[in-house]
Amino acid sequence: MQEEIIIAGFGGQGVLSMGKILAYSGVMQEMEVSWMPSYGPEMRGGTANVTVILSDTRIGSPVLHEFDTAIILNQQSMDKFESLVKPGGTLIYDSNGIVHHPKRTDISIFRIDATDEAARINSPKTFNMMVLGGYLKVKPVVLMKNVLKGLKKSLPERHHHLIAMNEKALIHGGEIIREISHNDLVRV
């Protein structure tokens, strides 16, 4: 099994830390992992993205130009990465701020309104964990118990009291994600 993921959005949305928690979850499941961030000028107040690879075998290139799954959290990232999902792959997006919804019909598309939901339940900081939970519902590449271990590993100890809240958000994300059928794509 090899899962190649791009997570892309604005700086400050928790894109890099979401990737880090996912990578750590892979470590806890004794998989090979790599985490390659964008660290260029774009991360200084613009778009941020991270490539995460989870694999049962040795990972070759940590830098990729096509992906099994794209998790897209803003319009710029949609413009950049929708076309880079492999045919048959998966695109997950948060609709907040999205003007041009995805159009491809050769991939599975899921929508998660995590920004709205996090605001509704007054817990904006758990937004990225909701998205991660949604992703893991669609692609259960790591077991939830290993995600929780990964969360613990990647959070500094002073933040460990937040783990329960993050766990709730992970589960909630799995509940609110929904697949967009290709017929709906035409309508939105």
Partner 1 sequence: MKEIKLMKGNEAIAEAAIRCGADGYFGYPITPQSEVMETLMALKPWETTGMVVLQAESEIASINMVYGGAGCGKKVLTSSSSPGVSLMQEGLTYLAGAELPCVVVNVVRGGPGLGTIQPAQSDYFQAVKGGGHGDYKLIVLAPASVQEMADFVDLAFDLAFKYRNPAFILTDGVIGQMMEKVELAPFKPRWTNEEIEKNHPWATMGKKQRKERNVITSVELDPYKHEDLNKKLQAKYRLIQETEVRLEMIACEDADYLLVAYGASARICEKAVEVARSKGIKVGLLRPITLFPFPTLEIKRLAAQVKGILSVEMSAGQMVEDVRLAANGVVRVEHFGRLGGIIHSPSEVVEALENFFLKA
**97: Cβ–Cβ under 8 A, 6 or more apart, which residues?**
74, 75, 115
Q: Tell me, what amino acid is at 115? A: T
Q: If binding means CB under 8 A, how many residues of this protein chain bind partner 1?
A: 22
The reply to whether 60 sits near partner 1 by the rule CB under 8 A is yes
| Residue (103 or 145) nearer to partner 1, CB | 145
Q: Which of 113, 71, 103 is nearest to 188 (CA)?
A: 103
Q: Looking at the chain, which runs of residues are DSSP E strands?
A: 2-10, 32-37, 47-55, 67-72, 85-93, 108-111, 178-180
**Contact between 45 and partner 1 per CB under 8 A:** no
Which C-beta is closer to partner 1: that of 24 or that of 81? 24
Choose which of 6, 33, 114, 169 interacts with partner 1 (CB under 8 A): 33
Segment interacting with partner 1 (CB under 8 A) among 21-29, 102-110, 126-134, 138-146: 21-29
Residue 148 lies near partner 1 (rule: CB under 8 A): no
Question: Residue 153 interacts with partner 1 (CB under 8 A)?
Answer: yes
Vertex 52, ends 6 and 128: CA angle to 5°?
A: 65
Shorter beta-carbon distance to partner 1: residue 62 or 140: 62
d(CA 35, CA 115) in angstroms, rounded, equals: 24
Q: Which stretch binds partner 1 (CB under 8 A): 54-62, 101-109, 121-129, 134-142?
A: 54-62
**How far, in whole angstroms, is CA 39 from its chain's centroid?**
18
Is residue 41 a contact point for partner 1 (CB under 8 A)?
Answer: yes
Which residue among 1, 12, 65, 87 contacts partner 1 (CB under 8 A)? 65
**Distance of alpha carbon 55 from its chain centroid, rounded?**
17
Which residues are near partner 1 by CB under 8 A? 20, 23-24, 27, 32-37, 39-41, 59-65, 153-154
